[in-house]
């Protein structure tokens, strides 16, 4: 669902690169607009975990400082942040002087919490941190030799196997792709589906994941759609859908939604 308010967003428009700090660059988008279009509103938990790789500012002597950052937006925040506005905002710190990383962190936490409509978490990491890349944990289903005919969301493809027994398993796919609803640019990602319930037909699940290939939607909304479609079609007892998208403009996003408390992997996938 395209929100008419997005016509005012910086995404898809040529904008001047910020030369000074400017919190007004942030463009919040109400989650409710998309959630009203979901088949039902689940009682879920989760978060949108962003990683920033282009964080920089000047110290009091004018020397550039750099860091990596993790931004955690609970799914309960009224708003998400449009990605290009997020990038522009972060880069508005580049030529400003601050007494240290804690000062920058406090400003970012204040501004982003205000834009999101609730408190968010931010952590800075030094750029010399050793980072391990690993595929999402679980059994990858991408080798299934299936014919694909749907490239628009097709939840009717989802089903459980005949006389399905209740199982607990973790399935993954690297074939997730959707498109930005404003620019049409492709968004590439990997998805992990953890569930307890009647065994899901893996070929049907893969065909469903691929059916999002020409779908125009933000990352967070795609994860919520997948969660709701699987929940309705397969009736699991417990479900967690977690996607890790490749970065764009120095940011990657990793949304997850779950029916119960879980821990999610923080390691980058090889494509991130």
**Does 20 show up as a binding residue in the annotation?**
no
Per the annotation, the verdict on 187 as an active-site residue is: yes
125 labeled part of a ligand binding site: no
Query: What is the dotted CATH code of the domain comprising 139-258?
Result: 3.30.1130.10
Helix H or strand E segment including 245: strand 238-245
- For the chain, the distance separating the N- and C-terminal CA atoms, rounded to the nearest angstrom, is 28
Residue 41 has a pLDDT of 85
Catalytic residue (choose from 160, 174, 180, 201) = 180
CATH number of the structural domain 4-125: 3.30.1130.10
What pLDDT score was predicted for residue 40?
Answer: 82
Q: Is 248 annotated as a binding residue?
A: yes
Sign of CA dihedral 73, 74, 77, 79: positive
Is 220 annotated as a binding-site member?
yes
Active-site choice (187, 201, 229, 252): 187
For the chain, the maximum distance between any two Cα atoms, rounded to a whole number of angstroms, is 70
Asked whether this chain's domains 4-125 and 139-258 adopt the same fold, the reply is yes
Would you write out the chain's pLDDT as a tens digit for each of its 272 residues? Answer: 555 565 555 655 566 789 999 999 999 999 999 999 998 888 999 999 999 999 999 999 999 999 999 999 999 999 999 999 999 999 999 999 999 999 999 999 999 999 999 999 999 998 988 888 999 999 999 999 999 999 999 999 999 999 999 999 999 999 999 999 988 999 999 999 999 999 999 999 999 999 999 999 999 999 999 999 999 999 999 999 999 999 999 999 999 999 999 999 888 999 99
Q: Coil, helix or strand for 170?
A: strand
Handedness of CA 258, 264, 266, 271 (dihedral sign): negative
pLDDT of residue 10: 63
Q: What are the residue ranges spanned by the domains of the chain?
A: 4-125, 139-258
């Amino acid at each position: 669902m395209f929100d008419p308010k997005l016509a005012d967003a910086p995404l898809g428009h040529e904008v001047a690169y910020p030369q000074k700090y400017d919190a007004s660059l942030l463009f919040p988008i109400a989650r409710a607009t998309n959630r009203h279009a979901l088949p039902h509103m689940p009682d879920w938990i989760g978060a949108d975990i962003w990683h920033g790789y282009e964080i920089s500012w000047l110290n009091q002597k004018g020397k550039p400082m750099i860091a990596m950052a993790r931004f955690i937006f609970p799914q309960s925040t009224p708003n998400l942040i449009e990605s290009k506005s997020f990038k522009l905002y972060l880069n508005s710190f580049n030529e400003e002087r601050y007494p240290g990383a804690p000062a920058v962190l406090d400003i970012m936490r204040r501004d982003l919490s205000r834009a999101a409509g609730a408190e968010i978490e931010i952590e800075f990491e030094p750029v010399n941190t050793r980072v391990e890349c690993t595929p999402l944990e679980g059994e990858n289903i991408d080798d299934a030799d299936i014919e694909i005919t749907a490239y628009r969301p097709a939840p009717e493809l989802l089903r459980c196997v005949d006389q399905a027994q209740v199982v607990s398993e973790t399935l993954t796919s690297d074939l997730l792709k959707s498109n930005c609803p404003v620019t049409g640019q492709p968004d590439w990602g990997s998805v992990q589906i953890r569930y307890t319930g009647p065994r899901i037909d893996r070929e049907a699940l893969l065909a469903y994941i691929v059916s999002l290939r020409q779908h125009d939607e933000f990352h967070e909304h795609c994860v919520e759609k997948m969660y709701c479609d699987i929940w309705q079609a397969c009736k699991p007892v417990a479900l967690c859908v977690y996607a890790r998208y490749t970065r764009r403009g120095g940011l990657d996003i990793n949304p997850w939604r779950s029916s119960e408390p879980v821990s999610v992997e923080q390691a980058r996938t090889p494509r991130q």
